[in-house]
């Protein structure tokens, strides 16, 4: 009998090949893929997130855990799609117009993927209307907007206003982040969520989805 706790451990330790092997073995032994995700994989990333928040893990260690999770999910995704089970949620992520910085956005994207989200990265220097279009195209439940500069963070407000007008706010939650962004700023412009760092962004995204 396959010890599935090894899947959790492999993800926590960022052992991507190990995580993939155990997953493949489990699928061969006809373990329910939803059980694999909910009982072992997501709890593994929760534990990683907890350790990062407690400053027991450094960011690259969290990132390789997310990478292991992503690889282990690969053989599972087609099975889920075939059985009509939705992925956790779809996210459109990008950096606002006028801003070419993408490292923070990439970090959040990787972490969301690691947490099982389907992530559509629409890049940097993205005009407000492109955010809205992408949300519609991908039928995304979350729009995640990044800005690094004080001179570009006002662009977020524009996107929020356009989102209000285009009527996507009741189906799509909007998450903002970036070095100069604060909870107060997020509240002021009417965003649904704010993550102080990539780890926090994941838990905020999860909470937004479960509120739905």
Partner 1 sequence: MENNFQELSLSQFRFLDEQQLTRIHEASLHILSRVGVTVDSAEALELLDGAGADASNPKRVLIPADMVEKALETAPSTVVLHKRDGTPFVRLTGNRCTFGGTPDQPDILDPRDGKRRPCRIADVVDNARLIDALPNLTWSFTSEWAGYPQGLPAVLAGKVSFMIQLENSEKPLGSSIANVQNLKDQIEVCSLIAGGTEELRRRPFFFGSVEPITPLVHGRDALEKSLILAEHSLPNVVYVMPMAGATAPATFAGTLAVANAELLSHLTLMQLKREGAPMIYGAMPNIIDMRTTIFPYGSPELNLLVGAATELAHHYNLPMLGTAGCTDAKVMGVQTGLEVMAQCMTSVLSGANMVHDVGLMDHATMISPELMVLTDEIIGMTGAMLRRLEVDDESLALDLIEKVGPGGSYLAEDHTLNHFRSFWVPEILDRSMGTKPGAAGSALHSEDRLREKTLKIIESHTPKPLEEGLLSEIKKMEKSWFERLGLDHVYPEE
198 binds partner 1 (CB under 8 A): yes
182 binds partner 1 (CB under 8 A): yes
151 binds partner 1 (CB under 8 A): yes
123 binds partner 1 (CB under 8 A): no
58 binds partner 1 (CB under 8 A): yes
| Segment interacting with partner 1 (CB under 8 A) among 6-14, 77-85, 136-144, 174-182 | 174-182
Q: Which is nearer to partner 1, 4 or 144 (CB)?
A: 144
What is the distance between the alpha carbons of residues 117 and 202, in angstroms, rounded to a whole number?
9
Q: Which is nearer to partner 1, 150 or 210 (CB)?
A: 150
179 binds partner 1 (CB under 8 A): yes
Question: What's the 3-state SS for 99-114?
Answer: CCCCHHHHHHHHHHHH
Q: Cα dist. 158→5, 48, 129, 153 in Å?
A: 46, 35, 9, 10
Which residues have a Cβ under 8 Å from the Cβ of 80 and sit 6 or more positions away? 33, 34, 86, 87
Pair of tokens at residue 51: 């350790």
What is the distance between the alpha carbons of residues 3 and 21, in angstroms, rounded to a whole number?
12
183 binds partner 1 (CB under 8 A): no
Binding site for partner 1 (CB under 8 A): 55, 58-60, 98, 100-101, 103-104, 107, 125, 150-151, 153-155, 179-180, 182, 184-185, 197-198
């Amino acid at each position: 009998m396959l010890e599935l706790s090894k899947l959790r451990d492999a993800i926590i330790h960022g052992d991507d090949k190990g995580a993939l092997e155990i997953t493949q073995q489990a699928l061969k032994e006809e373990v329910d893929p939803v059980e694999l995700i909910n009982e072992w994989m997501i709890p593994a990333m929760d534990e990683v997130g907890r350790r990062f928040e407690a400053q027991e893990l450094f960011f690259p260690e969290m990132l390789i855990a997310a990478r292991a999770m992503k690889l282990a999910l690969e053989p599972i995704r087609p099975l889920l799609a075939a059985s009509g089970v939705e992925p956790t949620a779809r996210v459109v992520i990008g950096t606002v117009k006028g801003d070419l910085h993408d490292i923070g956005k990439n970090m959040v994207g990787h972490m969301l993927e690691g947490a099982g989200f389907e992530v559509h990265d629409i890049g940097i220097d993205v005009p407000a209307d492109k955010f809205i279009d992408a949300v519609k195209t991908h039928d995304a439940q979350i729009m995640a907007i990044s800005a690094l500069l004080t001179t570009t963070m006002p662009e977020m407000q524009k996107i929020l206003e356009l989102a209000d007008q285009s009527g996507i706010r009741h189906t799509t939650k909007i998450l903002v982040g970036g070095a100069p962004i604060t909870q107060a700023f997020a509240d002021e412009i009417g965003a649904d969520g704010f993550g102080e760092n990539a780890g926090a962004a994941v838990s905020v995204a999860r909470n937004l989805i479960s509120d739905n």
